A and B are shown apart, each in its own frame.
Chain A
């Protein structure tokens, strides 16, 4: 596994996945994207379980883009498990969801989410968000144990 910085994208919907990958590709700060298609896969990947047995990721992703509505294990459960693990809890988790329900937002923040973003319908707006995310979390924000991407 490469040691270069990457983003973990947890998204079950193929359309959303395709659009997200398209947007990240177009972002002025391209970055490698690892994907997980449900909550279980995301946790297996991060904790080195199941198919990823014995291979915990090294380094950790720069940030995790987490959908809430996921099959098997929901985004909230993934968040809860990550944030209760001493090592994993330092990874920034950005919740990205269709829901604008206050209840969801409150629960995410209570469980340690670092950011909460509602997916806009307008793709142009989505593109702007992706650009801003990359700019902030990859370049501006400092993460424990992972070097920043140096400014261009």
Chain B
């Protein structure tokens, strides 16, 4: 078992045991070394003292050259087993006496002369001068064995080992009790964590044992659990909503792992392909076989292109269900890669669009139907227009001819009968001719009205002021002998068909001249104002005016508000004006009061809010 896999209890025990043992060993070793050092020092001092005493005792023997007493003195060393050998040297270096006496004189060293000691292994060699009252008589040599120290060392070591063993067990016992206060909260935390990861139950909380670091760890752990619980709740809420949204919109999800090649469908996906769960092999190849053969290439190309370019794609195709029915599918996807460019996958949504396709098809068929009807109507209208044109042509030609003839023959008659006809007869012919000319004007006016209706609008920017002045000049013969004040205001440039707008002004100015005839001094104002940013043109006179309750009849064909004896007219002029204004998309209206004049307003473009409904 390696250190990292050991339980925290065992680790704590180990820590305590190793610490205790090392401390005891260091202490024991220190004591032993101290003891050894002290013992050696004491032994040396003892032997030195002994040597000193013996040297003093031997001085007399040397002074008197008494070999026997010297031998006796040395023999007292026998009491001390540690003394291995001793010798007395005379000052000239000869051995005077030796101990033990049986030891050969050769085994003693030569007198070096210098006093002092040296230690060789467990052997101590010592030279002590022999002197008396300052006079030197020789030297004492002593060889001692220090060996008796080793039994002491073994004794000390034994004691230390014994203490070590004893304290080891005590430490073991104590550690077992003490480490629990640290390891128990940790173990409890581990048990809680294990329970959570096993049961996935994030509602469990670890119990706190104290306010130390482990307590803080427990708090942090519990806080983390709360956060996880909150996030879990939010996530499952979101997941539920997405699931509901996908279900509600009948949308399925899929993913294609490009590394493994596996295509994964969600449960709803199978229904879109008419399959039972598990009927899909989970490969792109199998997916393609589910697609209508006519759409297969297109889908394959689109998807593979998206894979290559890492782009989004949307593709619509038909699928052939196992029951033979055809369904429309819309699939959209997106390619993803991780930041290292690997782990590529394609994921997206699939939607059954059969219903909308059906609706689309229906709309298309309705549109085609409508188009057909429009075409039919158009050709009917074209035919009607052609007919109308033919009619107009015939009016222009054939209706005018008899009028011409009547007028011509009436005049011929008048000339043939010149002098033979009564004044009344002349008058009658005059009336016939007037009626014919009136009829001619009517035909021409109607012809013009129909022509205006059929004519294509040719818009350009027109300087209306100039156009108005030209029109006034054209009506010179109507204003002859009249006093008329013309007030012509400046105009903005107007976008319109100048030929048609000339007709508008021609009619309105002609009317203004006509209906101011009873006025000694006529005032005719022509100008423009602006309403909602669009120019409104007007022609105002101080003529006889009219009652506004008849205003609705103003612009109808053959509608007149005055008797023709009072004011001549065809009843087609304002109808023509109305048609021209409408053709421009504009509108026309009048404001008048009997006896106080009339104002005609008109615009020449569609208002910004849309076209004017036909009246």
Binding site for B on A (CB under 8 A): 13, 15-16, 19, 22, 69, 97-101, 119-124, 126
Contact = CB atoms under 8 A, between A and B. Distances in A.
A121 B447 contact: no
Interface in B388-439: 393, 396-398, 400-401, 403-405, 407-412, 433, 436-437, 439
Contact of B407 (A99, A100, A121): A121
Interface centre among B397, B398, B437 (most CB of A within 10 A): B397
Nearest to A126: B408
15 contacts: A13-B401, A15-B405, A19-B409, A98-B404, A99-B396, A99-B397, A101-B393, A119-B404, A121-B404, A121-B436, A121-B437, A121-B439, A122-B407, A122-B433, A124-B411
Interface string B509-520: 000000000000
B440 interface: yes
B405 A16 contact: yes
Nearest to A13: B401
B455 to A, nearest CB: 10
Contact of B412 (A13, A22, A119): A22
Main DSSP-derived SS at the A contact region: loop
Interface of B: 393, 396-398, 400-401, 403-405, 407-412, 433, 436-437, 439-440, 444, 447
Contacts of A126: 404, 408
Given A15-B405, A99-B396, 19 more contacts: A13-B401, A15-B408, A16-B404, A16-B405, A22-B412, A98-B396, A98-B400, A99-B393, A100-B447, A121-B400, A121-B407, A121-B436, A121-B439, A121-B440, A122-B440, A123-B407, A123-B408, A123-B411, A126-B408
Nearest to A102: B451
Contacts of A123: 404, 407-408, 410-412
Interface centre among A15, A97, A98 (most CB of B within 10 A): A98
Contacts of A98: 396-398, 400-401, 404
Nearest to A121: B440
Contacts of B444: 100
A25 to B, nearest CB: 11
A10 to B, nearest CB: 16
B12 to A, nearest CB: 118
A99 B440 CA distance: 13
A98 to B, nearest CB: 4
Nearest to B396: A99
A126 B437 CA distance: 13
A98 B394 CA distance: 10
Contacts of B401: 13, 15-16, 98
A69 to B, nearest CB: 6
Contacts of A122: 407, 433, 437, 440
Contacts of B404: 16, 19, 98, 119-121, 123, 126
A119 B401 CA distance: 9
Contact of A19 (B412, B436, B439): B412
Contacts of A15: 401, 405, 408-409
A16 B403 CA distance: 11
Contacts of A119: 400, 404
Contacts of B393: 99, 101
A57 B109 CA distance: 190
A101 B409 CA distance: 26
